[in-house]
A and B are shown apart, each in its own frame.
Chain A
């Protein structure tokens, strides 16, 4: 029966000792240990979170880079295309202009030739006229020396005149 009867002395000392142990360990052991452990766990959690964030940021950056690259490529493409178009257009324009210029020059040349021709014709006409007049003068002088001949001449000339006029 002694075995299962709690003795007062041991209860007293156990209670006292346990309270003492609890208070001392609480202040000097459990608080620092649990504090350190949870601090570290917090630190690890934060480190993992920031690593995850960094990874995400990297991914975003990479996506951005790819997007920018794609855009740049597309832009280059359009630039090249535009350049090609401009080139062909310029060539076309130049060709057209050159054609027009050439046509214009040819026309001018033709006009000039026409003008020259007309002038030359006129001059020739004048020349022929004066020459004709001269010849006519001379002929007239020679013809006018006798009366018959004069008449005959007028007659011929008139005939001729109308003939040439026709």
Chain B
């Protein structure tokens, strides 16, 4: 909460406190990793900005914007002029020297280049990957060392989770004979989502909200969709396009619905994870904003108490959402590989 509070204070000094802007700032991705403020100066970790422009690849560090997020500070690199506005990088047109806005505060003389910067979320994703690799490769080594396959150390902590994913998700959803092929995916996705859900809850990381970002959930849902589609056997496709066991008019009626369902499944995966995690963050931040909205320290105990309550729920939600995503993915794989039994 330290990170939140200090930044709120800064905002308050600058202008009237706007909870919506503060919340969106925390929930959304950012170039650069703002850690805390120290004597009126923001302390942040600069992250590389990588752009694909007409002149090719352009890279520079986010610190070159000098914490400007209003589009005033222009960075010239590789023959292009760049500004940062609401955590979006704009490239000014050839003749422009500063950004000008229309009535709705959209830039008019700038375009958005393809932005593959190492943002806050990408950075945290890599941190989570390093931690996952450390944990699981260390655990795997433990087994290699012990001669009787007895889990010791971190393996003893990891094994129940792995066995849980195998016995409670893989086996029942996909089936005893085919689950093995999907286990690496299910395990990876479960722990990847879970650890990033947890990271999103750590306040000092400034709400690096990876699993609450729709791009992240979209990508994972796409993986599930692609794997489902490519695992689909004859029976699966028959159930979609020519539903067995119902009259012909019904078959024709059901086919478009089933085709839509094919796409709705991954979309629901994407939205469920994104909405759950983002909602949790928004609630906690909104409760914290109450202190600044009412401009009274007296609200703080209430805010903190409610945030704590929501925070505890969120801790449970981290695991539940990772579990649900994995279960549903497994379920879709199971449906795609199910053999006809009519």
Contact = CB atoms under 8 A, between A and B. Distances in A.
Nearest to B141: A32
Given A2-B86, A33-B159, A34-B162, A11 B137 contact: no
Nearest to A20: B129
Contacts of B88: 2
Interface in A21-41: 21-22, 24-26, 28-37, 39-40
B184 A4 contact: no
Interface string B185-224: 1011000100000000000000000000111101110110
B125 A22 contact: no
Contact of A33 (B28, B118, B129, B143): B143
Interface string B262-288: 000000000000100010000000000
A9 B214 contact: no
Which are the 10 A-B pairs with shortest beta-carbon distances?
A: A29-B136, A10-B215, A36-B143, A6-B215, A26-B184, A32-B140, A14-B219, A40-B149, A36-B149, A9-B116
Interface size class of A (residues with CB under 8 A): 35 or more
B188 A5 contact: no
A14 B187 contact: no
Instruction: Say what secondary structure dominates the interface of chain A.
Output: helix
Given A6-B215, A18-B220, A33 B162 contact: yes
B43 interface: no
A163 interface: no
B192 A7 contact: no
B214 A6 contact: yes
B289 interface: no
Contacts of B222: 15
B188 A28 contact: no
B84 interface: no
B136 A10 contact: no
A142 interface: no
Contact of B132 (A4, A21, A39): A21
Nearest to B216: A14
Nearest to A13: B122
Identify which of A33, A36, A40 gathers the most chain B CB atoms within 10 Å of its CB. Answer: A33
Interface of B: 24, 27-29, 50, 86, 88, 114-119, 121-122, 125-126, 129, 132-133, 136-137, 139-141, 143-144, 148-151, 155, 158-159, 162-163, 166, 183-185, 187-188, 192, 213-216, 218-220, 222-223, 274, 278
A33 B158 contact: yes
Interface of A: 2-15, 17-18, 20-22, 24-26, 28-37, 39-40, 43
A36 B215 CA distance: 36
Given A9-B50, A10-B216, A13-B122, 7 more contacts: A2-B24, A7-B213, A18-B219, A21-B129, A29-B133, A30-B184, A37-B163
Contacts of B183: 30, 34
A7 B88 CA distance: 10
A10 B122 contact: yes
A26 B188 CA distance: 8
A34 B136 contact: no
A28 B121 CA distance: 25
B126 A2 contact: no
Contacts of A35: 143
Contacts of B136: 25, 28-30, 33
Nearest to B49: A9
A19 to B, nearest CB: 9
A6 B219 CA distance: 9
Contacts of B214: 3-6
A15 B216 CA distance: 8
B129 A22 contact: no
A36 B122 CA distance: 33
Contacts of A36: 143, 149, 151
